[in-house]
Structure 1
């Protein structure tokens, strides 16, 4: 669908690069952001005209994509867009939200003759910048097939899980797994430093074996350097884990490790680290092993 008319709503650290890839791939992009200055800056950098309103951005668009904040933001932006979208257009929501919201918005979209895809992404800011995100999608087969070529502008992996809401549920699975891995990595780093090991040598020894992971490949070195001023913010991870824990509770599940790690992220927030990368869990061990030195 190169050359299709696309609207992108939300130009933050994820949405801005994603929308930029759409321009690079030859789509006609109209972009909107809640703060006009960011929209104007993005539009200038990509040689397109900014949109002053959601209505202006989505007018006539084949696809409307959104990447905003939490459930209230996602609902407000989607419902405003639905009012002005043309019949047959498809709304693709990349925001990480509750599955219940995705299901409700899907029903609203279909009642208006619109398509719907809930497509939360994984890969962080680097994945958005490099066009290598993973999208997990909830949609009808027809809506997914129509949306796939557009999402491929910035996604390396795009999977339809099932009907509306299943994309969001899969993102919850993703965040549960990440929470445990990052905590394990933080503890491993603390142990390596406490033992006086060369952390570069440790990485070379273990990263290609059973302990290896994306988090190890991309966060071990920065954790060793106590550098966290980038990446996926703790504030957003706590939002995601809140959604996870609420969904688990509704099914009678107790996710002990996820709940524990969520509390640790709360400590990071309380210490003023809400905008730090999720790997900042390592800061909880900053003074580990000092007593013996």
Structure 2
């Protein structure tokens, strides 16, 4: 079995310094890892003690590659250029939310080059990313996960091995569907109570000790803050989780012949509701 990755001899190539990527990179630096970072907007690396590179090929000498880029296309493009250049025994960590089928294909292609690849999407938000307390859902070979644990432990409080390649991506999409279903229900419920003159906070206080309690209601305002961060970064709505991830749910379900009528409904309308709620909050 390959030995654990050693922070004293390994440089991590980190691609994607967005809402989650930047604080994850900061957690890695705080844990003592050396970084080379890649982002279409190099200014996102300002203040981060890391070498900023121009393209994927500049990460070829890194023993670990971590990706927190927006989607399947970006992950595939970077790894298509980079994997053939990596040394045998290197490890690729795909933190991006991608389709399970994409994760399986990328793992096979990496294996052909004697590279270990894990689909390791994360959950918890930017604040937990910065504190190194995310949850990681890991899909892939157990020996590769054991090798990569020191890196993952720097960004996560909980690392779960959920199955073979593609399983991490599948569990992340399952999490997103549950979360966004709860969010849609909470928004409609608050609109209903509001029509009878009941303020949001009053409803949230009432449900906090009732059967309607959920992570969504306990963290109300979370998605308003995330949307505001995306606005500041100029991230298109179609690339935000309440749009992109829900369409990934529908695509993954179609690929596996599973019916997700609620997921399809949410993919059609939730993004508009999230964005409208954020605008309402910023104008009040």
Change (3 A) 1:196 1:253: same
CA distance in 2, matches of 1:207, 1:35: 41
Q: Report what 2:57 is aligned to.
A: 55
CA RMSD of aligned residues (A): 2.7
- Is this contact kept in 1: 2:14–2:35, CA < 8 A? yes
Q: Report what 1:272 is aligned to.
A: none
Q: Report what 1:265 is aligned to.
A: 270
**Correspondence list, 1:215-234, <5 A:** 215-219=216-220, 229-230=228-229, 234=237
- 1:247 is aligned to 2:249: no
**Correspondence list, 1:129-140, <5 A:** 129-140=130-141
* TM-score, normalised via structure 2 length: 0.85
Quick check: 10-19 or 197-206, which moved more? 197-206
Q: C-alpha deviations, 1:98-137, integer Å up to 9, x for none?
A: 1111111101111111111001112233332332221111
Q: Report what 1:197 is aligned to.
A: 198
- How many Å apart are 1:262 and its aligned residue? 1.2
- How many Å apart are 1:283 and its aligned residue? 7.3
What secondary structure, in the 3-state scheme, does the structure 2 residue paired with 1:30 have?
Answer: strand
Listed as ranges, the gaps of 5+ residues in structure 1 are 269-277, 287-293
- Is this contact kept in 1: 2:118–2:165, CA < 8 A? yes
Q: Report what 1:11 is aligned to.
A: 17
- Is this contact kept in 2: 1:264–1:281, CA < 8 A? no
CA distance in 1, matches of 2:230, 2:265: 22
- How many Å apart are 1:83 and its aligned residue? 2.3
CA distance in 1, matches of 2:147, 2:134: 18
Q: Report what 1:290 is aligned to.
A: none
CA distance in 2, matches of 1:247, 1:156: 28
- 1:29 is aligned to 2:35: yes
- 1:166 is aligned to 2:167: yes
- How many Å apart are 1:242 and its aligned residue? 1.6
- Is this contact kept in 2: 1:183–1:281, CA < 8 A? no
Q: C-alpha deviations, 1:231-273, integer Å up to 9, x for none?
A: 797522322122211221233332121111111136x2xxxxx
CA distance in 1, matches of 2:200, 2:270: 24
Q: Report what 2:3 is aligned to.
A: none
What secondary structure, in the 3-state scheme, does the structure 1 residue paired with 2:198 have?
Answer: coil
- Is this contact kept in 2: 1:23–1:29, CA < 8 A? yes
Q: Report what 2:92 is aligned to.
A: 91
- Is this contact kept in 2: 1:185–1:216, CA < 8 A? yes
* TM-score, normalised via structure 1 length: 0.82
- How many Å apart are 1:220 and its aligned residue? 5.1
